[in-house]
A and B are shown apart, each in its own frame.
Chain A
Amino acid sequence: MFEAILLTVITASTPLVIAALGELVTERSGVLNLGVEGMMIMGAVAAFATAQLTGSAYLGILGGIVGGGIFSLLFGFLTLTLVANQVATGLALTILGLGLSGQIGEAFVGMPGVRLQPIVIPLLSDIPFFGRVLFSQDLIFYMSVALVFGISWFLFKSRAGLKMRAIGDSHGSAHALGINVVRTRYLAVLFGGACAGLAGAQLSLVYTPQWVENMTAGRGWIALALVVFASWRPLRVLAGGYLFGAVGIGQLHAQLLAQSGGIAIPSQLLSALPYVATIVVLIIISHNRRTTLINTPASLGKPFVPDR
């Protein structure tokens, strides 16, 4: 029972963690991409379609990453090359993504999907209690863990990561130092899009292996909140992602429990819990103005036109 719950929590948390990690990198470079929801749903539909047409869930993963990545370049072109308002463009990305994915996915509604099979790691998966849960997971879960540590290393231990953080904190100074601000930001946006696409692929290949319109159900927005919650730190994204995932699964179990126990808790009230939790967490995290100011990349969301 405990193991089963833990498994569902992991499945529910992984897409949140991955999407939030991608957005974290994008925001660290000073770009606010509110289109996570749109990139995620595009990743989900691209992954599902690829898996369906090729019969391979692994190609599906690739399709999700490519789909989310290409879609994010649209955002990059508008905000980085044409210096359009980042908030508005992010919203545009979400609206377009939800529409386009519905249009593309139309052909796949009701089809049984290709489920991504778990990879059992020998020996490690025999460890009692958590071995089976942690080491017989699917590839996307392992990727999420690798991403957490990879991004931590990149941001805080590598030279390129230092440059990226410099751009995020002051694009003017970084530009004066000869760092190519726009190119770095393009890469950061692309990485964020690829991650959101991978998160979407997890939804349509693992979480519920089928195509349902709007299947992201606000997870992209929750991922955005997670980045704030984690004060732009990868390890805290991991912790926060599992907290949010647990809330989501907790409400599902509470619903079942209430049903079997004959207790009349409105299902809508429980479904609203993840959103309420997000708001509460945001309040707790942001109420201290000073720490928020210190943690937020200083040039986040500000337009940059290189002077020549």
Chain B
Amino acid sequence: MRIELQKRANTSVLFSILSPLLALALTLIAGAIMFGLLGKSPLNSLYIYFVEPLLDVWSLHELAIKAAPLILIAVGLSVCFRSNNWNIGAEGQFTIGAITGSILPVLNPEWHSPLILPLMLVMGMIGGALYAGIPALLKTRFNTNEILTSLMLVYIAQLFLDWLVRGPWRDPQGYNFPQTKSFQPEAVLPEILDSGRAHLGIVFALIAALALWFMMRFMLKGFQVSVLGQSERAGRFAGFSATKMVWFSMLLSGALAGLAGISEVSGSIGHVQPVISPGYGFTAIIVAFLGRLNPLGIIASGFVLALTYLGGEAAQLSLGISDKVSRVFQGLILFFVLSCDTLIHYRIRLIFNPSSAQEGKS
């Protein structure tokens, strides 16, 4: 048996909508098999993993908290990926954004002004953007592969954060815990509802997604992104600059990752500590692809991936399975999304014997 691909004349609208859903269905099936192999009841496990977290108000708030950074980072990455710039160091930009955004509350814990929060957010965005500017500079100036440099910068950022909170930024009254003082109330991102912890981060995420959807759909910049991403040559003939696009997409995604970082620290943690992210920057890559690199799709996929985090925690508590299961699910989702996306551009034909292959040829 062979699998043969036949290019479609047009991309299939049906499958562009169906493919993410199909991928999720396949993930659930694979998940059921995995739970079975671990000796748990598949259906009950899937229920605990994917349904139970949606049933009470507390976990819906947690869902919004986890979806916020994923959506913020992923919409920025979608612009990068669409323009063929592979920023995979969002985790590092997230970390640096959290650090630069926290400079004010950590160094001026007595500054009680309503100005502090907006300044923190802006500084977080600037920090993230500058950090993403390093691979952009190296790519445009030295022709260096941005995939590898942006990834190496993740490790460097995490080590820098580790040094900061164990060294100069450590709270002297913190019983030797490696963390800073808790932020003053003015520096904490407010909650949006009285019913739980969800903070303004999710609002930022939705605004960013809508704004970028508008840009990609109705503005020249969005058109430039698509053209340069599909064919740099065609873009050059249209007078678009590939170099500027590297800068634009990297700075934009860096700024959004930085905003996600400072929102996370200020909104849900309340101080700076050695580990501030369960891999949001990497999971956001999956979010971007599951949302088919479309900002509106990313809103939906951000919540799906946030659910995998919550489900992982739930599975740990109720099933006694390690929360690593959530990373397996995340990897599986990306695999199935990428496979199902083939259906958008190609017809897949299974060929069982050589003679029918000959027929296909004629």
Chain A residues at the B interface, C-beta cutoff of 8 Å: 34, 74, 78, 81-85, 87-89, 91-93, 95-100, 102-103, 106, 213, 218, 221, 224-225, 228, 266, 268-269, 271-272, 275-276, 278-279, 282-283, 286-289, 292, 305, 308
Contacts and interface: CB of A to CB of B under 8 A. Distances in A.
A92 to B, nearest CB: 4
Contacts of A268: 159-160, 162-163
B162 A96 contact: no
B233 interface: no
B328 interface: yes
B338 A106 contact: no
A271 B149 CA distance: 17
Interface in B131-159: 138, 142-145, 147-149, 151-153, 155-156, 159
B324 A106 contact: yes
Given A268-B159, A275-B156, A221 B148 contact: yes
Contacts of B342: 82-84
Query: 7 closest A-B pairs (Cβ-Cβ)?
Result: A96-B331, A99-B327, A102-B324, A268-B163, A92-B334, A99-B328, A268-B159
A103 B331 CA distance: 13
A92 B331 contact: yes
B361 A103 contact: no
B361 A286 contact: no
B325 interface: yes
10 contacts: A93-B331, A218-B151, A225-B152, A266-B167, A268-B160, A272-B160, A275-B152, A276-B156, A282-B145, A282-B149
Contact of A279 (B153, B162, B283): B153
B5 interface: yes
A292 B360 contact: no
A224 B348 CA distance: 32
Nearest to B139: A286
A213 to B, nearest CB: 8
Contacts of B326: 99
B244 interface: no
A246 to B, nearest CB: 18
Contacts of B334: 88, 91-92, 95-96
Contacts of A96: 327-328, 331-332, 334-335
Contact of B147 (A87, A98, A276, A286): A87
Given A95-B286, A103-B322, A279-B152, A84 B341 contact: yes
B144 A282 contact: yes
Given A268-B160, A278-B148, A286-B142, A103 B341 contact: no
A81 B2 CA distance: 9
Contacts of A275: 152-153, 155-156
Given A82-B339, A82-B342, A289 B332 contact: no
B282 A78 contact: no
B86 interface: yes
Contacts of B147: 34, 87
